[in-house]
Structures are given as structure tokens and as C-alpha cells.
């Protein structure tokens, strides 16, 4: 996915585990000319603001099941995802991840959405 300010997010895996979660992993690369802060990726929900510059606003969309899956949170309300995505220098690459509730077992194709980025179709594999 290539988005604003020449930021690229490359998703490498989406794995379903036995605990009922899906973990999406990848990398964020700043192909632009100025430092990047992922403040717009936190999402609109007020409770997620405490996650700071992160991928807390990511969503998995199951078009067939007509359901959206939001990033999981810990007991303090922070996302189970990469946080601290600030001052990413031009040319720098950082790993990113986000955990979601798993769609039903038969669902393997979903869309990954991240604010300000185009959506990406991904395949969930068994972990």
C-alpha cells in the first residue's frame, strides 16, 4: 500500500492463531523526503488516542460476512499493535504489526484498511 507523503506499508503475513486472534505483520517504509509521524493512523475513536502514533486505526473487513474487525486493546486501552511510529526518517523502514479478533474459520480473504492508505486484500493463514 502506498499512501500520503510517499509512505509504503508492505504486509508480509496475516496469521490466525489457536487463541482466536489474527496477527498482521509487515513493514513501513518512508520513501519521502521528510520525517513521518503516524498520528493519522490512530483512527477516530477517542479511546485509542492513548496509543499515540501507531496503527491503532487499522481494520480488517470481511466483505462476505459483512463485518469489520478492529485492533485489539490491552487492559489500559492501548492497542495491541505497533506504537511509537514517530520521526521515521526518509529511507527508514520499521516493522509493524496489529492483532485483531479472528473472523470465522472459513474466512481466509479480508481487506486490511489503514487510515489515509488504500485498502489491501490479504489472505489469512493458519498459524
Convert the chain into a string of H (helix), E (strand) and C (coil): CECHHHEEEEEEEEEECCCCEEEEEEEEEECCCCCECHHHHCCCCHHHHHHCCECCCCEEEECCCCEEEECCECCCCCECECECCCCECCCCEEEEEEEEECCCCCCCEEEEECCCCCCEEEECEEC
Contact present, 58 and 116 (Cβ < 8 Å):
no
The Cα-based distances of 26 to 6, 64, 65, 71, 84 in angstroms read 17, 24, 25, 15, 16
Instruction: Mark 18-28 as b/e (b = at least 16 C-beta within 10 Å).
Output: eeebbbbebeb
Average pLDDT, the chain: 92
For the whole model, what pTM was predicted? Answer: 0.92
For position 83, what pLDDT does the model report? Answer: 93
**Domains detected in the chain:** 4-126 (2.60.40)
For position 86, what pLDDT does the model report? Answer: 93
**Residues 89-124 pLDDT 10s:** 999 999 999 999 999 988 999 999 999 999 999 999
For position 52, what pLDDT does the model report? Answer: 85
For position 51, what pLDDT does the model report? Answer: 84
**Residues 32-89 pLDDT 10s:** 999 999 988 887 777 767 788 899 999 999 999 999 999 999 988 889 999 999 999 9
**Residues 4-14 pLDDT 10s:** 889 999 999 99
Report d(CA 2, CA 125) in Å as an integer: 24
For position 100, what pLDDT does the model report? Answer: 97
Amino acid at each position: 500500500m502506498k499512501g500520503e507523503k510517499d509512505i509504503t506499508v508492505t504486509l508480509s503475513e496475516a496469521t490466525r492463531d489457536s487463541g482466536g486472534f489474527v496477527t498482521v505483520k509487515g513493514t513501513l517504509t518512508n520513501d519521502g523526503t521528510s520525517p513521518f509521524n503516524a498520528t493519522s493512523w490512530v483512527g477516530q475513536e477517542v479511546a485509542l488516542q492513548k496509543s499515540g502514533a501507531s496503527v491503532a486505526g487499522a481494520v480488517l473487513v470481511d466483505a462476505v460476512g459483512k463485518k469489520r474487525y478492529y485492533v485489539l486493546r490491552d487492559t489500559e486501552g492501548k492497542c495491541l499493535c505497533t506504537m511509537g511510529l514517530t520521526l521515521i526518517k526518509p529511507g527508514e523502514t520499521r516493522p509493524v504489526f496489529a492483532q485483531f479478533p479472528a473472523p470465522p474459520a472459513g474466512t481466509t480473504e479480508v481487506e486490511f484498511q489503514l487510515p489515509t492508505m488504500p485498502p489491501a486484500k490479504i489472505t489469512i493463514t493458519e498459524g
